[in-house]
Amino acid sequence: MITTVDSYRLRHRLADSLRASGYLQSRRWLEAFRTVPREAFVDRFIISSPTGEQTLFDLAVDRPLALEAVYRDTNLLTQRDAGGTATSSSTTPSLMALMLERLDLWQGHSVLEIGTGTGYNTALLCHVLGDHTVTSIDIDPGLVVRARDALDGLGHHPHLIIGDGTQGVVEYAPYDRLIATCGVARVPASWLRQVAPDGVILVNLGYALARLTVDADGRATGPFTDYAAFMRLRPHPAYRTPTGREIVEMATEEGARSTVRIDGFPDYLGARPLECLRALVHPDVHKVIRHDGGGEAHVLGDPATGSWARARFIGSSRAAIVHGGVRDLWDDYMRIAQLWNEHGRPEPARYGLTITPDGVHTLWLDCPEHPVLVLD
Protein backbone atom coordinates (compact mmCIF):
# COMPACT_ATOMS: atom_id res chain seq x y z
CA MET A 1 0.00 0.00 0.00
CA ILE A 2 1.50 3.36 -1.07
CA THR A 3 0.50 6.28 1.12
CA THR A 4 0.77 9.88 -0.02
CA VAL A 5 1.65 13.22 1.49
CA ASP A 6 -2.05 14.10 1.38
CA SER A 7 -2.88 10.91 3.26
CA TYR A 8 -0.28 11.78 5.90
CA ARG A 9 -1.71 15.27 6.31
CA LEU A 10 -5.30 14.04 6.49
CA ARG A 11 -4.46 11.29 8.99
CA HIS A 12 -2.79 13.79 11.28
CA ARG A 13 -5.65 16.25 10.90
CA LEU A 14 -8.21 13.60 11.87
CA ALA A 15 -6.15 12.26 14.77
CA ASP A 16 -5.47 15.73 16.14
CA SER A 17 -9.16 16.55 15.88
CA LEU A 18 -10.05 13.40 17.82
CA ARG A 19 -7.54 14.36 20.49
CA ALA A 20 -8.86 17.93 20.72
CA SER A 21 -12.43 16.66 21.12
CA GLY A 22 -11.41 14.22 23.87
CA TYR A 23 -11.92 10.94 22.03
CA LEU A 24 -8.19 10.20 21.90
CA GLN A 25 -6.49 10.62 25.27
CA SER A 26 -3.39 8.42 25.16
CA ARG A 27 -0.28 8.90 23.06
CA ARG A 28 -0.26 5.34 21.72
CA TRP A 29 -3.73 5.58 20.17
CA LEU A 30 -3.00 9.05 18.85
CA GLU A 31 0.04 7.66 17.05
CA ALA A 32 -1.97 4.69 15.77
CA PHE A 33 -4.56 6.96 14.15
CA ARG A 34 -1.78 9.15 12.75
CA THR A 35 0.03 6.14 11.28
CA VAL A 36 -2.54 3.61 9.98
CA PRO A 37 -3.97 4.67 6.59
CA ARG A 38 -7.73 4.23 6.59
CA GLU A 39 -7.80 4.27 2.78
CA ALA A 40 -5.90 0.96 2.74
CA PHE A 41 -9.13 -0.68 3.94
CA VAL A 42 -11.77 1.19 1.94
CA ASP A 43 -11.64 1.89 -1.78
CA ARG A 44 -15.28 2.42 -2.70
CA PHE A 45 -17.84 3.55 -0.14
CA ILE A 46 -21.01 5.52 0.55
CA ILE A 47 -21.49 8.37 3.01
CA SER A 48 -25.00 9.27 4.15
CA SER A 49 -25.91 12.84 5.03
CA PRO A 50 -28.09 13.72 8.07
CA THR A 51 -31.03 14.08 5.66
CA GLY A 52 -30.47 10.59 4.24
CA GLU A 53 -28.83 11.63 0.97
CA GLN A 54 -26.17 9.12 -0.08
CA THR A 55 -22.95 9.94 -1.94
CA LEU A 56 -20.68 7.35 -3.55
CA PHE A 57 -16.91 7.84 -3.38
CA ASP A 58 -14.32 5.81 -5.28
CA LEU A 59 -10.56 6.18 -4.76
CA ALA A 60 -9.93 4.79 -8.24
CA VAL A 61 -12.15 7.41 -9.90
CA ASP A 62 -11.44 10.60 -7.96
CA ARG A 63 -8.72 9.92 -5.40
CA PRO A 64 -8.36 13.45 -3.95
CA LEU A 65 -12.10 13.79 -3.33
CA ALA A 66 -12.45 10.26 -1.95
CA LEU A 67 -9.36 10.62 0.24
CA GLU A 68 -10.80 13.74 1.86
CA ALA A 69 -14.00 11.77 2.51
CA VAL A 70 -12.07 8.82 3.99
CA TYR A 71 -10.73 11.07 6.73
CA ARG A 72 -14.01 12.62 7.74
CA ASP A 73 -15.22 11.62 11.17
CA THR A 74 -18.05 9.60 9.71
CA ASN A 75 -19.19 6.07 8.98
CA LEU A 76 -18.24 4.67 5.56
CA LEU A 77 -20.70 2.13 4.15
CA THR A 78 -18.64 -0.44 2.25
CA GLN A 79 -20.97 -3.36 1.52
CA ARG A 80 -24.67 -4.14 1.04
CA ASP A 81 -26.48 -7.41 0.49
CA ALA A 82 -28.70 -8.15 -2.52
CA GLY A 83 -31.68 -6.58 -0.74
CA GLY A 84 -29.87 -3.33 -0.07
CA THR A 85 -29.22 -3.91 3.64
CA ALA A 86 -25.83 -2.70 4.86
CA THR A 87 -23.55 -5.58 5.85
CA SER A 88 -20.20 -3.86 6.39
CA SER A 89 -18.84 -0.41 7.10
CA SER A 90 -15.86 1.42 8.50
CA THR A 91 -17.02 2.77 11.86
CA THR A 92 -16.98 6.49 12.64
CA PRO A 93 -13.40 7.19 13.84
CA SER A 94 -14.48 9.04 16.99
CA LEU A 95 -16.48 5.99 18.10
CA MET A 96 -13.56 3.70 17.27
CA ALA A 97 -11.23 5.90 19.30
CA LEU A 98 -13.63 6.02 22.24
CA MET A 99 -13.97 2.23 22.27
CA LEU A 100 -10.24 1.59 21.99
CA GLU A 101 -9.58 3.95 24.89
CA ARG A 102 -12.37 2.29 26.90
CA LEU A 103 -10.65 -1.10 26.47
CA ASP A 104 -7.71 0.05 28.62
CA LEU A 105 -5.33 -2.14 26.61
CA TRP A 106 -1.70 -2.57 27.58
CA GLN A 107 1.34 -4.21 26.03
CA GLY A 108 1.13 -7.97 26.43
CA HIS A 109 -2.66 -8.05 26.50
CA SER A 110 -4.35 -10.43 24.09
CA VAL A 111 -7.51 -9.20 22.38
CA LEU A 112 -10.35 -10.83 20.45
CA GLU A 113 -12.16 -8.62 17.97
CA ILE A 114 -15.64 -9.78 16.97
CA GLY A 115 -16.35 -8.41 13.50
CA THR A 116 -13.25 -7.89 11.35
CA GLY A 117 -15.14 -5.82 8.80
CA THR A 118 -12.76 -3.76 6.70
CA GLY A 119 -9.81 -4.54 8.98
CA TYR A 120 -9.04 -0.91 9.87
CA ASN A 121 -9.78 -1.36 13.57
CA THR A 122 -7.75 -4.59 13.48
CA ALA A 123 -4.80 -2.63 12.09
CA LEU A 124 -5.06 -0.06 14.89
CA LEU A 125 -4.98 -2.89 17.44
CA CYS A 126 -1.95 -4.44 15.71
CA HIS A 127 -0.14 -1.11 15.69
CA VAL A 128 -0.44 -0.76 19.47
CA LEU A 129 -0.24 -4.40 20.63
CA GLY A 130 1.68 -6.19 17.91
CA ASP A 131 0.21 -8.81 15.60
CA HIS A 132 0.63 -11.99 17.63
CA THR A 133 -1.77 -10.96 20.42
CA VAL A 134 -4.59 -9.83 18.09
CA THR A 135 -7.31 -12.26 16.93
CA SER A 136 -10.24 -11.18 14.77
CA ILE A 137 -13.24 -13.12 13.45
CA ASP A 138 -15.92 -12.39 10.85
CA ILE A 139 -18.66 -14.51 9.30
CA ASP A 140 -18.12 -13.06 5.81
CA PRO A 141 -15.28 -14.82 3.92
CA GLY A 142 -14.99 -11.99 1.40
CA LEU A 143 -14.48 -9.41 4.13
CA VAL A 144 -11.82 -11.51 5.84
CA VAL A 145 -9.93 -12.05 2.57
CA ARG A 146 -9.96 -8.33 1.75
CA ALA A 147 -8.98 -7.39 5.29
CA ARG A 148 -6.11 -9.88 5.25
CA ASP A 149 -4.81 -8.46 1.96
CA ALA A 150 -4.94 -4.91 3.33
CA LEU A 151 -3.27 -5.90 6.59
CA ASP A 152 -0.58 -7.85 4.73
CA GLY A 153 0.08 -4.74 2.66
CA LEU A 154 0.87 -2.84 5.85
CA GLY A 155 3.00 -5.65 7.26
CA HIS A 156 0.46 -6.86 9.83
CA HIS A 157 -0.33 -10.56 10.29
CA PRO A 158 -2.84 -11.07 13.13
CA HIS A 159 -4.92 -14.21 13.58
CA LEU A 160 -7.86 -13.79 11.17
CA ILE A 161 -10.68 -16.30 11.40
CA ILE A 162 -13.71 -16.92 9.17
CA GLY A 163 -16.52 -18.05 11.44
CA ASP A 164 -19.49 -17.31 13.67
CA GLY A 165 -18.52 -14.55 16.06
CA THR A 166 -21.05 -15.69 18.65
CA GLN A 167 -18.78 -18.71 19.24
CA GLY A 168 -15.65 -16.64 19.76
CA VAL A 169 -12.29 -18.22 18.94
CA VAL A 170 -11.34 -20.93 21.43
CA GLU A 171 -7.99 -21.63 19.79
CA TYR A 172 -6.28 -18.49 21.10
CA ALA A 173 -8.23 -18.05 24.36
CA PRO A 174 -8.16 -16.82 27.04
CA TYR A 175 -8.20 -13.15 26.10
CA ASP A 176 -7.56 -10.13 28.27
CA ARG A 177 -9.94 -8.03 26.20
CA LEU A 178 -12.86 -8.68 23.85
CA ILE A 179 -14.20 -5.91 21.63
CA ALA A 180 -17.28 -6.38 19.46
CA THR A 181 -17.53 -4.04 16.47
CA CYS A 182 -21.08 -5.25 15.87
CA GLY A 183 -24.25 -5.21 17.92
CA VAL A 184 -25.69 -8.17 19.79
CA ALA A 185 -29.07 -8.84 21.37
CA ARG A 186 -27.45 -10.73 24.26
CA VAL A 187 -23.82 -11.40 25.14
CA PRO A 188 -22.99 -15.02 24.18
CA ALA A 189 -21.94 -17.21 27.10
CA SER A 190 -18.98 -18.39 25.00
CA TRP A 191 -17.46 -14.91 25.21
CA LEU A 192 -17.48 -15.01 29.00
CA ARG A 193 -15.75 -18.40 28.96
CA GLN A 194 -13.01 -17.13 26.65
CA VAL A 195 -12.14 -13.97 28.60
CA ALA A 196 -9.65 -14.28 31.45
CA PRO A 197 -10.54 -13.25 35.02
CA ASP A 198 -10.39 -9.44 35.33
CA GLY A 199 -10.66 -9.27 31.55
CA VAL A 200 -12.96 -6.79 29.83
CA ILE A 201 -15.75 -7.22 27.26
CA LEU A 202 -16.78 -4.09 25.36
CA VAL A 203 -19.98 -4.62 23.40
CA ASN A 204 -22.91 -2.76 21.87
CA LEU A 205 -26.38 -3.81 23.08
CA GLY A 206 -29.32 -1.81 21.81
CA TYR A 207 -28.05 1.72 21.33
CA ALA A 208 -25.39 1.76 24.04
CA LEU A 209 -21.98 0.32 24.88
CA ALA A 210 -21.54 -1.95 27.88
CA ARG A 211 -18.13 -2.37 29.53
CA LEU A 212 -18.19 -5.66 31.41
CA THR A 213 -15.50 -7.12 33.67
CA VAL A 214 -15.31 -10.90 34.00
CA ASP A 215 -14.66 -12.27 37.50
CA ALA A 216 -13.01 -15.50 38.60
CA ASP A 217 -16.38 -17.28 38.62
CA GLY A 218 -17.02 -16.43 34.98
CA ARG A 219 -19.63 -13.77 35.69
CA ALA A 220 -19.51 -10.45 33.83
CA THR A 221 -20.65 -7.17 35.37
CA GLY A 222 -20.39 -3.56 34.33
CA PRO A 223 -22.09 -0.32 33.33
CA PHE A 224 -23.30 1.09 30.07
CA THR A 225 -20.88 3.85 29.16
CA ASP A 226 -21.76 5.56 25.89
CA TYR A 227 -24.31 5.77 23.11
CA ALA A 228 -23.47 3.54 20.13
CA ALA A 229 -25.26 1.59 17.43
CA PHE A 230 -23.61 -1.02 15.22
CA MET A 231 -24.84 -3.40 12.56
CA ARG A 232 -26.13 -6.57 14.22
CA LEU A 233 -23.73 -9.52 14.40
CA ARG A 234 -24.56 -11.98 11.63
CA PRO A 235 -24.62 -15.66 12.73
CA HIS A 236 -24.43 -16.65 9.05
CA PRO A 237 -23.61 -14.71 5.85
CA ALA A 238 -27.24 -14.66 4.63
CA TYR A 239 -28.55 -13.08 7.86
CA ARG A 240 -30.02 -9.62 7.39
CA THR A 241 -31.81 -7.05 9.49
CA PRO A 242 -34.98 -5.48 8.12
CA THR A 243 -34.89 -2.01 6.61
CA GLY A 244 -36.99 0.85 7.92
CA ARG A 245 -39.10 0.63 4.78
CA GLU A 246 -39.85 -3.05 5.48
CA ILE A 247 -40.94 -2.25 9.04
CA VAL A 248 -43.27 0.48 7.78
CA GLU A 249 -44.72 -1.90 5.17
CA MET A 250 -45.49 -4.42 7.92
CA ALA A 251 -47.59 -1.80 9.68
CA THR A 252 -49.74 -0.87 6.68
CA GLU A 253 -51.98 -3.89 7.27
CA GLU A 254 -55.29 -3.62 9.08
CA GLY A 255 -55.26 -4.60 12.72
CA ALA A 256 -57.08 -4.15 16.00
CA ARG A 257 -57.88 -0.45 16.45
CA SER A 258 -58.11 1.45 19.71
CA THR A 259 -57.86 5.03 20.89
CA VAL A 260 -56.20 5.42 24.27
CA ARG A 261 -55.28 8.22 26.59
CA ILE A 262 -51.54 8.59 27.15
CA ASP A 263 -50.58 11.19 29.73
CA GLY A 264 -47.50 13.23 28.99
CA PHE A 265 -47.10 12.21 25.36
CA PRO A 266 -45.53 12.93 22.99
CA ASP A 267 -42.93 14.98 24.88
CA TYR A 268 -40.60 12.11 25.83
CA LEU A 269 -41.67 9.23 23.62
CA GLY A 270 -38.74 9.61 21.24
CA ALA A 271 -36.22 10.38 24.00
CA ARG A 272 -32.86 8.82 23.27
CA PRO A 273 -32.41 7.18 26.70
CA LEU A 274 -35.85 5.57 26.43
CA GLU A 275 -35.00 4.23 22.97
CA CYS A 276 -31.80 2.72 24.41
CA LEU A 277 -33.80 0.92 27.07
CA ARG A 278 -36.47 -0.23 24.60
CA ALA A 279 -33.87 -1.63 22.18
CA LEU A 280 -32.09 -3.40 25.04
CA VAL A 281 -35.20 -5.04 26.49
CA HIS A 282 -36.79 -5.89 23.12
CA PRO A 283 -33.83 -6.19 20.71
CA ASP A 284 -35.80 -7.85 17.92
CA VAL A 285 -38.44 -5.12 17.79
CA HIS A 286 -37.54 -2.37 15.35
CA LYS A 287 -38.87 1.17 15.55
CA VAL A 288 -39.33 3.81 12.85
CA ILE A 289 -40.66 7.36 13.30
CA ARG A 290 -42.49 8.69 10.24
CA HIS A 291 -43.45 12.27 9.44
CA ASP A 292 -46.12 12.77 6.80
CA GLY A 293 -49.22 14.80 6.11
CA GLY A 294 -50.96 13.19 9.06
CA GLY A 295 -48.27 14.24 11.54
CA GLU A 296 -45.85 12.05 13.48
CA ALA A 297 -46.33 8.29 13.63
CA HIS A 298 -44.35 5.74 15.65
CA VAL A 299 -44.09 2.33 13.99
CA LEU A 300 -42.94 -0.87 15.70
CA GLY A 301 -42.30 -4.19 13.99
CA ASP A 302 -41.13 -7.66 14.99
CA PRO A 303 -40.39 -9.62 11.78
CA ALA A 304 -39.87 -12.89 13.68
CA THR A 305 -43.50 -13.01 14.86
CA GLY A 306 -45.09 -10.75 12.25
CA SER A 307 -46.30 -8.43 15.00
CA TRP A 308 -46.52 -4.69 14.47
CA ALA A 309 -48.00 -1.51 15.92
CA ARG A 310 -48.57 2.00 14.63
CA ALA A 311 -49.38 5.03 16.80
CA ARG A 312 -50.43 8.42 15.48
CA PHE A 313 -50.81 11.18 18.04
CA ILE A 314 -53.95 13.25 18.43
CA GLY A 315 -53.13 16.48 20.22
CA SER A 316 -50.86 16.17 23.24
CA SER A 317 -52.48 13.36 25.20
CA ARG A 318 -54.17 10.87 22.89
CA ALA A 319 -52.98 8.44 20.28
CA ALA A 320 -54.73 6.33 17.68
CA ILE A 321 -53.21 2.86 17.96
CA VAL A 322 -53.37 0.16 15.29
CA HIS A 323 -51.66 -3.14 15.95
CA GLY A 324 -51.59 -6.69 14.66
CA GLY A 325 -49.88 -10.03 15.18
CA VAL A 326 -49.43 -12.28 18.19
CA ARG A 327 -47.69 -9.62 20.31
CA ASP A 328 -49.10 -6.30 21.43
CA LEU A 329 -45.95 -4.32 20.70
CA TRP A 330 -47.44 -1.01 21.76
CA ASP A 331 -48.34 -2.38 25.18
CA ASP A 332 -44.80 -3.77 25.51
CA TYR A 333 -43.43 -0.35 24.62
CA MET A 334 -45.61 1.42 27.18
CA ARG A 335 -44.42 -0.92 29.93
CA ILE A 336 -40.82 -0.01 29.11
CA ALA A 337 -41.72 3.70 29.10
CA GLN A 338 -43.39 3.33 32.49
CA LEU A 339 -40.33 1.56 33.90
CA TRP A 340 -38.07 4.32 32.61
CA ASN A 341 -40.33 6.99 34.15
CA GLU A 342 -40.35 5.19 37.49
CA HIS A 343 -36.56 5.23 37.46
CA GLY A 344 -36.54 9.01 36.97
CA ARG A 345 -35.88 8.94 33.21
CA PRO A 346 -32.18 8.09 33.63
CA GLU A 347 -29.46 8.24 31.01
CA PRO A 348 -28.09 4.84 29.89
CA ALA A 349 -24.93 5.30 31.99
CA ARG A 350 -26.97 4.77 35.17
CA TYR A 351 -27.86 1.27 34.01
CA GLY A 352 -25.61 -1.75 33.98
CA LEU A 353 -25.64 -5.50 33.37
CA THR A 354 -24.69 -8.62 35.25
CA ILE A 355 -24.40 -11.79 33.17
CA THR A 356 -24.06 -15.22 34.74
CA PRO A 357 -21.89 -17.95 33.18
CA ASP A 358 -25.02 -19.65 31.84
CA GLY A 359 -26.14 -16.46 30.09
CA VAL A 360 -28.76 -14.89 32.38
CA HIS A 361 -28.73 -11.10 31.83
CA THR A 362 -29.87 -8.91 34.74
CA LEU A 363 -30.32 -5.18 34.22
CA TRP A 364 -29.53 -2.97 37.21
CA LEU A 365 -29.80 0.70 38.08
CA ASP A 366 -26.82 2.55 39.63
CA CYS A 367 -25.25 -0.60 41.10
CA PRO A 368 -25.50 -4.40 40.77
CA GLU A 369 -27.25 -4.54 44.15
CA HIS A 370 -30.27 -2.78 42.63
CA PRO A 371 -31.55 -5.19 39.94
CA VAL A 372 -34.59 -4.00 37.99
CA LEU A 373 -35.21 -6.54 35.25
CA VAL A 374 -34.10 -9.96 34.02
CA LEU A 375 -33.80 -9.75 30.24
CA ASP A 376 -35.42 -12.45 28.12
Query: For 109-122, how does the pLDDT look when each residue is reduced to its tens digit (9 = 90+)?
Result: 999 999 999 999 99
Does pLDDT of 184 surpass 90?
yes
Q: What is the CATH number of the domain that holds 18?
A: 3.40.50.150
Structural domain boundaries, residue 333: 244-343
pTM of the model as a whole: 0.92
Looking at the domain assignment, is residue 279 inside a domain? Answer: yes
Q: Looking at the structure, do residues 16 and 114 belong to the same domain, yes or no?
A: yes
Q: Looking at the structure, do residues 173 and 306 belong to the same domain, yes or no?
A: no
Looking at the domain assignment, is residue 281 inside a domain? Answer: yes
pLDDT tier for residue 125 given thresholds of 50, 70 and 90: very high
Structural Rg of the chain based on CA atoms: 22
Q: Looking at the structure, do residues 207 and 268 belong to the same domain, yes or no?
A: no
Q: Looking at the structure, do residues 180 and 327 belong to the same domain, yes or no?
A: no
Mean pLDDT along residues 14-22:
97
Count structural domains, the chain: 2
Q: Looking at the structure, do residues 40 and 71 belong to the same domain, yes or no?
A: yes
Does pLDDT of 320 surpass 90?
no
Q: Looking at the structure, do residues 141 and 250 belong to the same domain, yes or no?
A: no
Mean pLDDT along residues 125-138:
97
Sheet holding 351-355, edge to edge: 159-162, 134-138, 111-114, 175-184, 195-205, 208-214, 220-227, 351-355, 361-365, 371-375
Mean pLDDT along residues 58-66:
92
pLDDT of residue 2: 47
Looking at the domain assignment, is residue 43 inside a domain? Answer: yes
Does pLDDT of 266 surpass 60?
no
pLDDT of residue 234: 73
pLDDT tier for residue 24 given thresholds of 50, 70 and 90: very high
Does pLDDT of 164 surpass 60?
yes
Looking at the domain assignment, is residue 371 inside a domain? Answer: no
Q: What is the CATH number of the domain that holds 312?
A: 3.30.160
Distance CA 17, CA 28 (A): 15
pLDDT of residue 79: 85
> What's the half-sphere exposure (Cβ side, CA atoms, 13 Å) at 73?
17
Indicate if 90 belongs to the active site: no
pLDDT of residue 237: 66
pLDDT of residue 187: 98
Of 46-50, 130-134, 336-340, 355-359, the one with minimum mean pLDDT is: 46-50
Mean pLDDT along residues 230-259:
75
Does pLDDT of 272 surpass 80?
yes
Query: What does pLDDT average to over the chain?
Result: 90
Distance CA 259, CA 49 (A): 37
Distance CA 96, CA 162 (A): 22
Mean pLDDT along residues 28-42:
97
pLDDT of residue 308: 92
Q: Looking at the structure, do residues 192 and 260 belong to the same domain, yes or no?
A: no
Amino acid at 67: L
Of 3-7, 204-208, 220-224, the one with minimum mean pLDDT is: 3-7
Q: Looking at the structure, do residues 17 and 120 belong to the same domain, yes or no?
A: yes
Does pLDDT of 4 surpass 80?
no
CA angle 100, 232, 137 (to 5 degrees): 60
Query: Which one of 227, 254, 284 terminates a domain?
Result: 227
Query: Which one of 196, 227, 258 terminates a domain?
Result: 227
Does pLDDT of 104 surpass 90?
yes
pLDDT of residue 239: 67
Query: Which one of 227, 257, 285 terminates a domain?
Result: 227
Q: Looking at the structure, do residues 149 and 26 belong to the same domain, yes or no?
A: yes
Q: Report in angstroms the alpha-carbon separations of 64 from 7, 57, 67, 69, 71.
A: 9, 10, 5, 9, 11
Q: Looking at the structure, do residues 221 and 260 belong to the same domain, yes or no?
A: no
Looking at the domain assignment, is residue 261 inside a domain? Answer: yes
The 8 Å CB, 24+ separation contacts for 77-85 are: 77/45, 77/46, 77/47, 77/48, 78/42, 78/44, 78/45, 78/46, 78/117, 78/118, 79/140, 79/143, 81/240, 83/240, 83/243, 84/243, 85/240, 85/241, 85/242, 85/243
> What's the half-sphere exposure (Cβ side, CA atoms, 13 Å) at 337?
16
Looking at the domain assignment, is residue 148 inside a domain? Answer: yes
Active-site residue identified among 7, 88, 89, 110:
89
Looking at the domain assignment, is residue 356 inside a domain? Answer: no
Looking at the domain assignment, is residue 234 inside a domain? Answer: no
Q: Looking at the structure, do residues 271 and 135 belong to the same domain, yes or no?
A: no
- High-pLDDT (> 70) share of the chain, %: 93
Q: Looking at the structure, do residues 205 and 268 belong to the same domain, yes or no?
A: no
